[in-house]
């Protein structure tokens, strides 16, 4: 079991990387769950300076969104996180973001299909949550969780995305893969028909990807960039998978 | 009643944030009105360095565009501001901008429709001013004011936008929401049909938004970024609602 | 008559602003002509560091491209500049650039039409030079000059643009106006039909624009930004007319 | 014969320039071959900080991917490089990248056609490798090499690009030309039909280009920028051929 202080530090790093990439700033949040203690650590809500989050800024709350020790307050849409952490043994890390490109699949009527070798991890597809509201109640959180089922992510109509992973490194990697695919689809579409993979190819891709090996590399690469980021507004948005 | 020195400071901050976002630089201007004193405070005209505006740079003028004490000069298109401040009790803050994305709806023949949860505030729609000229006379200012009616904003053909709000925080928030929607529509359109909301959904969204709560959060977030902005050309343009 | 030292300084500033904007870096050049002395001042060729050009770096040459005093060498495509300076009394300043957006009208088969109030100055249209080669000989320079005629600019197929003006401030302003229109057309086109102006409207716009008044404002605005530019690669590209 | 220490320095510079341009960061690699010694120098694999690569970081390996002296490890997809170096006398420098725009031609179903004067060097076209997998075995490397044949480059489906050149300066130049053409095609396509060149024109262009003259200028220009790059994340991506 990882110590809470390690998890806090990893969570803060993950949030700063997403912020650097222009994917979590005003309204996004990320959480990590410790099943042994049933404690959720989550980034604070709108208004806080996400580029400078540190371990002590993480809010610890239970699965009903109540902060431990009455310190801090989880963000308004905490049920997104808590319902996923509670329902799935493999939902240790959850991100709710409104990223520049992924969010477009929550606006345009186009089904998401993997377009790069990386996105074989989304072979099961990405769910769509169609109700146009914030997830501010446990009931809505449960609905979203059911829509996601055993998939890795959902697009939320007119709103943003939610991504689920087994740890924070996998969460970072898979969220960036999805954003990269969204951007590439958008741009490739202006060139002509977008090439996708057959069912066999997607399945073969999924099997060929060793996410335990690649996710830590993605983590190291982006945390190196984040460590030297000057935190100038908009200065840090790197290409996703160059 | 807020003091004029507080309003000057808020107005300068608002202008610097818009400048940081690449939305007010060469030709834009922002104003705030004090009904009790019938004084308008407005940012100076073309040529001045909008990234470095401070409270003392704000021009104080009456509703006919005459500067008090003969100090400074309101920008050429002052009638946009004065006619709105004079005609609507809820037009305390007004921005006239030529933002990168909003302006495209003043060029392309496409009706603006809300595409994100945020833009429920534009449920009444956005007006279009079709005459291709600058608003340099009181008569043109009145025409624009009538075209806007009780709406929050207008697109001005081949030109830019005008946004009206009850205070500077609401002005910042609603202008960014409109710019965000314009950008997202533009990008989502390359993916396929852009999903919009039904009349019922838009109306429900409008009711669900507590702008008195969200606008100050937007203000805090962007003013934190602006406070550390290095004012390098083009360095500060952040994602709008990540 | 402006002194040559003033012209050198203005020309270097103009080149640095274009470089800051990502429009003149590797292969672009700008020139200014002194009819009284028949001397052309022109920026040096490919390879030099355009972001740091100073007055002493400007090459002085005659209308046949021969450097005075044998110092420096005009860029390979000097005939573009010399033939225009020689043929038109109003061609005092000339830019040959490969800007990110203007160049697209030299690639796509789409006629340029003014789309903003600013671009009334292009009421006569922009010429197209269709031969796919560099302008490396006096003959090609003359052909280009004839294609341009009395217009302000030409798109050069698969290549770039050439802009002509009565002084360097007008050159900066009109080149940025063209680039802004190219960008806005490109982006608006993804929203739907691009609105243009009727012949009467364009003509009225042209008459309404006092370029002697607006060009110096554009100059002041961008030279203020350039003066504080840190010259980081790609750091300085500002919005064109926000 | 160039000394290995010179080659190491050039290779590191080339990799840093590609990184600055957002084209080689997480997963790209570049190599150079010394036929006299049958030694390949190659940049290290995923995870390393490509913006700060120096000569000592280059891995020396033989044509079977075995590192000399057991120092370092070539990246996973080393067969791309080794099979090209072994098979073609003119394949001295090889880049495997996932650049933002070139990769789109590996996703969209659109044949690449030269659209700028620069891209006459791609008169023979660019190959497409259609199998959706990484090139992790010598067999796959050979297949890719055969698909490329005597061309300068290949798009690799859902993946990225490979470019071949006679030295590192030519490699930098031709990779940037391809990326520039990809970007320009993408953007011009939103304006309308993209203009291409006839077979005669392309052939004439190819003959007119003196790559031995232009490649070193591209190299000088971008290495000057790279030398003053502050290595902030995403800060250095310059326009390609302004």
Q: Kindly give the confidence (pLDDT) of every residue in chain C, 242 residues in length, as a single tens digit, with 9 standing for 90 and above.
A: 889 999 999 999 999 999 999 999 899 999 999 999 999 999 998 778 999 999 999 999 999 999 998 789 999 999 999 999 999 999 999 999 999 999 999 999 999 999 999 999 999 999 999 999 999 999 999 999 999 999 999 999 999 999 999 999 999 999 999 999 999 999 999 999 999 899 999 999 999 999 999 999 999 999 999 999 999 886 666 677 78
Domain B4-223 in CATH 3.50.50.60? The answer is no
Confidence of residue D235 (pLDDT cuts 50, 70, 90): low
CB A235 to CB D232 under 8 A? yes
The subunits that touch chain B, with at least 3 C-beta pairs less than 8 Å apart, are A, C
B191:A190 CB<8 A: no
Per-residue confidence (pLDDT) for residue C203, from 0 to 100: 94
A113–B contact, CB cutoff 8 A = no
Q: Which residues of A82-119 are buried (b: 16+ CB within 10 A; e: fewer)?
A: bbbbbebeebbbbbbbbbbbbbbbbbbebebbbbbbbb
How far apart are the C-alpha atoms of C127 and C152, rounded to whole Å?
9
Contacts of A216 in chain D (CB under 8 A): 47
Model confidence pLDDT, tens digit, residues D122-162: 999 999 999 999 999 999 999 999 999 999 999 999 999 99
Q: DSSP for A52-111, please give it.
A: G--GGGPEEE-TTSPBGGG-S---TTHHHHHHHHHH-TT-SEEEEE--TTGGGGGTBS--
Inter-chain contacts counted by CB atoms under 8 A, chains A and B? 114
**pLDDT value at residue D27:** 94
The reported pTM is 0.97
pLDDT, residue C237, reads 62
Q: Do A132 and B115 touch (CB under 8 A)?
A: no
Closest CA to B132 of B159, B110, B105, B155: B159
Q: Is the confidence at residue D8, as pLDDT, over 70?
A: yes
Taking contacts as CB-CB distances below 8 angstroms, the residues of chain B near C181 are none
Rounded CA-CA distance B198/C32 in Å is: 58
pLDDT of residue B17: 95
Q: 3-class DSSP state for residue D42?
A: strand
Give yes or no for C107 touching D (CB within 8 A): yes
Does the beta-carbon distance from B234 to C232 stay under 8 Å? no
Comparing CA positions, the residue from D71, D2, D17, D5 lying closest to residue D227 is D17
What percent of the residues of chain B are helix, what percent strand, and what percent coil, each to the nearest 5? Answer: 45, 15, 40
Tell me how far apart the alpha carbons of residues D10 and D168 are, in angstroms, rounded to a whole number: 7
| Mean confidence (pLDDT) of chain D | 95
Q: How far is A226 from chain D (nearest CA, A)?
A: 8
Residue D7: is its pLDDT beyond 90?
yes
Reported as a pLDDT band with limits 50, 70 and 90, residue A239 is confident
User: A4-225 sits in which CATH class?
Assistant: alpha beta
Per-residue pLDDT tens over the stretch A17-26: 999 999 998 9
Strand order in the sheet with C39-42: C59-61, C39-42, C29-34, C93-97, C160-165, C153-156, C127-129
Of all residues in chain B, the one with the smallest CA distance to A27 is B242
| ipTM of the prediction | 0.95
What does the angle CA C92 – CA C98 – CA C104 come to, to the nearest 5 degrees?
Answer: 120
**Nearest Cα residue to B6 out of B29, B34, B28:** B34
The model's pLDDT over C109-148, given as tens digits with 9 standing for 90+, comes to 999 999 999 999 999 999 999 999 999 999 999 999 999 9
Taking CA atoms, D109 is separated from A194, D128, D185, in Å, by 6, 11, 13
pLDDT for the residue numbered B41:
98
Of B98, B189, B235, the CB nearest to C241: B98
pLDDT higher than 70, residue B188 = yes
Residue B67, strand partner residues: B61
Q: Which CATH architecture has domain C4-227?
A: 3-Layer(aba) Sandwich (3.40)
Q: Is the pLDDT of residue D190 over 70?
A: yes
**CATH top-level class for D4-224?**
alpha beta
- Nearest-Cα distance to chain B for A189, in Å, is 7
Residue D165, classed as helix, strand or coil, is strand
């Amino acid at each position: 079991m990882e110590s809470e202080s390690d998890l806090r530090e990893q969570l803060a790093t993950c949030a700063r990387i997403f912020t650097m990439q222009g994917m979590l700033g005003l309204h996004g949040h990320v959480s990590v769950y410790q099943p042994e203690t049933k404690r959720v650590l989550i980034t604070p809500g709108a208004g806080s300076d996400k580029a400078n989050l540190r371990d002590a800024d993480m809010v610890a709350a239970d699965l009903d969104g109540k902060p431990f020790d009455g310190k801090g307050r989880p963000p308004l849409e905490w049920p997104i996180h808590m319902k996923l952490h509670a329902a799935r043994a493999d939902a240790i890390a959850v991100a709710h973001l409104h990223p520049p490109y992924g969010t477009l699949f929550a606006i345009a009527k186009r089904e998401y299909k993997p377009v790069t070798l990386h996105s074989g991890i989304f072979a099961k597809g990405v769910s769509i949550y169609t109700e146009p509201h914030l997830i501010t109640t446990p009931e809505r959180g449960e609905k979203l969780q059911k829509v996601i089922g055993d998939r890795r992510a959902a697009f939320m109509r007119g709103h943003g995305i939610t991504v689920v992973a087994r740890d924070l490194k996998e969460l970072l990697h898979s969220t960036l893969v999805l954003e990269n695919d969204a951007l590439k689809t958008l741009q490739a579409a202006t060139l002509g028909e977008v090439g996708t993979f057959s069912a066999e190819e997607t399945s073969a891709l999924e099997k060929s990807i060793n996410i335990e090996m690649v996710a830590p590399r993605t983590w190291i690469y982006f945390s190196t960039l984040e460590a030297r980021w000057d935190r100038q507004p908009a200065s840090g948005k790197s290409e996703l998978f160059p």
